[in-house]
C-alpha cells in the first residue's frame, strides 16, 4: 500500500507535527514493532528512547531542520522524541546489536513462530 501525505506547513517542526498528528496510530504501531525487533535483535531489553536521543544529536549536527521535523512528528503523534528518532535511525541502531546485523540494510524480516505471521519492515 502506498500512502500519500501532503502537508501545508512549510516550517520543519510544523510540517512534522502535521504528519505526526495525521498518522499517530500508524506511527505508534510502527514503534511497537520496532521495540519488539530491537529487543529481539539485542537479546535483551534496550532503552530505545535513549538510543534515539543519541541518534537525534547526530541528526541535529547534520541537519537542524531534520531534527526539528522529527521533534514535530513526536509532538503530533504524542510520542517521545527519542522514540521517533530511533525509528529514523533504525538500521544504524539494529547494526549495533549483533555482528550478523552489521552494515546497512533496507529490509528486515522477523519470522514468527508456529501460528505467527512474519513481519517485514522496509526502510
pLDDT digits (tens, 9 = 90+) for 35-46: 998 998 888 999
Domain-located, residue 63: yes
Domain-located, residue 76: yes
Domain-located, residue 7: no
User: Is 19 in contact with 76 (CB distance < 8 Å)?
Assistant: yes
User: CA-CA distance, 87 to 67, in Å (whole number)?
Assistant: 13
Domain-located, residue 114: yes
Q: Is the pTM of this model over 0.85?
A: no
CA angle 60, 29, 74 (to 5 degrees): 30
H helices then E strands: how many in the chain? 6, 2
pLDDT digits (tens, 9 = 90+) for 21-70: 999 999 999 999 999 989 988 889 999 999 999 999 999 999 999 999 99
Name the residue range of residue 101's domain.
12-122
Amino acid at each position: 500500500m502506498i500512502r500519500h501525505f501532503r502537508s501545508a506547513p512549510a516550517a520543519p517542526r510544523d510540517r512534522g507535527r502535521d504528519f505526526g498528528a495525521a498518522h499517530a496510530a500508524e506511527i505508534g504501531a510502527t514503534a511497537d514493532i520496532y521495540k519488539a525487533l530491537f529487543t529481539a535483535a539485542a537479546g535483551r531489553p534496550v532503552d530505545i528512547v535513549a538510543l534515539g536521543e543519541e541518534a537525534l544529536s547526530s541528526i541535529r549536527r547534520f541537519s537542524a531542520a531534520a531534527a526539528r521535523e522529527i521533534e514535530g512528528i513526536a509532538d503530533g503523534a504524542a510520542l517521545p522524541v527519542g522514540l521517533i528518532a530511533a525509528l529514523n535511525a533504525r538500521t544504524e541502531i539494529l547494526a549495533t546489536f549483533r555482528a550478523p546485523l552489521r552494515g546497512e540494510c533496507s529490509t528486515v524480516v522477523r519470522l514468527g513462530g508456529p501460528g505467527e505471521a512474519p513481519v517485514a519492515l522496509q526502510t
